[in-house]
Amino acid sequence: MRGGRVAYERPWMETGINTNLSVESNQVMNAENEIPMTKVKESIPPTPSRSVIPFSVASLQQYTDSFSEANIILEDKLGKIYRADIPDGKKLMVMKIDIRESTLSNDEFRNLAFHVFELQHPNILELIGYCTEYGQRLLVYTYFSGRTLHDILHDENDIKRKLSWNARIEVALGAARALEYLHEGCQSPIIHQKFESSSILLDNELSVCVCDCGLASISSPSNSVSQISRQMQSLFSYEPPEIRDSGTHSDRSDVYSFGVVMLELLTGREPYDSSRPRAEQYLVRWASTQLHDINTLKRMVDSSIAGKYPVKSLSRFADIISRCIQEGSEFRPPISEVVQDLSRMVQVIKTEDEKSHGKTD
């Protein structure tokens, strides 16, 4: 089902995933990862419970084939995500955070894991466990089979051919619902801070799952780039002017980032593309002045769906984008308003589909 998350199982409750493997022989240090390499045997599985699981390094080594390069699913700014193969045939995903990016102590990282574990939404990647042994920062998630929206939009692939105009609206709605939950559905509002097209996972059915939720505190901006390089970097990215100017994040900065993702869905272009003519290299700067002219708007549409959309729907989509990427944060809508607008667009699609099927029946 598009715009929602694919059904998943809770493998640790159904199969007794072993999270605490016992050491059988001497440990050998892996120089690159500084994780003891161990020969292990399984101990008694833990009692199933609804709580975040503290995994051992040994168990995650076994499930990821010692964090083999062949098991890497994704890479992002925080680190690498590995496929973890459980002995009974089920899978998990393990995020191995680059310890150079982490500013958190062991206790702080555990607390973060507890908070992320509480995020329960159909469009948010579900955390089930963590590991802090030997100075590592590992997060364990339920498995989601798919690719990032960024890769789908910007590479030639089978899934992109499924990204019709209507599908793009539903993908936007699924991602907006995830942000709405973070901003307005949690006990304390959560700002994603790193929202971009690579934060959105899609499976073959175009089900939406947003990752990196609740992880903003793992690293600080000053930890990786200077203020000047940060300002330059943000010109190429999803960050609004207030982040470049003061580093201040809010729910409306997430809305701006979401607007940039909508622009990607509309145009099929990257936020920054040095291969294009100078006037077109910065997506927001190039597109923002053209969103209200239907003729220029048509020329902006991703060539893979050119002419395959209702003009009124295109205009509404562009209007939402325009409001989201306003320079002043006070002029951007709350994400709940965006969800309402996109929901109405999806409802129109469903109504028209029903009418179309009615005529052919």
**In angstroms, rounded to a whole number, what is the distance separating the alpha carbons of residues 292 and 132?**
51
Q: What is the pLDDT of residue 101?
A: 75
| Mean pLDDT value of segment 193-207 | 94
Domains of the chain: 13-142 (3.30.200.20), 147-360 (1.10.510.10)
Is residue 153 within 8 A of residue 160, CB to CB? The reply is yes
Which residue do the tokens 């325009």 mark?
A: 322
What's the whole-number average pLDDT of the chain?
84
Identity of the residue numbered 361: D
Two tokens, residue 308: 């395959």
At 28-87, the pLDDT tens digits run 334 344 444 433 333 334 444 568 999 999 999 999 999 999 999 998 888 999 999 998
> Element (H or E) spanning 36, and its range?
strand 36-37
More confidently predicted of 44 and 160: 160
**In angstroms, rounded to a whole number, what is the distance separating the alpha carbons of residues 358 and 320?**
31
> Element (H or E) spanning 92, and its range?
strand 91-97
Q: Which residues of 114-144 are buried (b: 16+ CB within 10 A; e: fewer)?
A: ebbbebebbbbbbbbbbbbeeebbbbbbbbb
- The structure's pTM equals 0.84
3-state secondary structure at position 59: helix
> Element (H or E) spanning 262, and its range?
helix 251-267
Secondary structure of 224-236 in HEC code, one letter for each residue: HCCHHHHHHHHHC
Which residue do the tokens 């390089």 mark?
A: 229
What's the order of all strands across the beta sheet hosting 127-131? 53-54, 127-131, 138-142, 91-97, 79-85, 72-75
For 180, 225, 253, 299, 316, the CA distances from 323, given in Å and listed in that order, are 16, 30, 12, 20, 11
By C-alpha distance, which of 177, 179, 207, 217 is closest to 195?
179
**In angstroms, rounded to a whole number, what is the distance separating the alpha carbons of residues 20 and 265?**
43
**In angstroms, rounded to a whole number, what is the distance separating the alpha carbons of residues 197 and 260?**
9
At 298-356, the pLDDT tens digits run 999 999 999 999 999 999 999 999 999 999 999 999 999 999 999 999 999 988 877 77
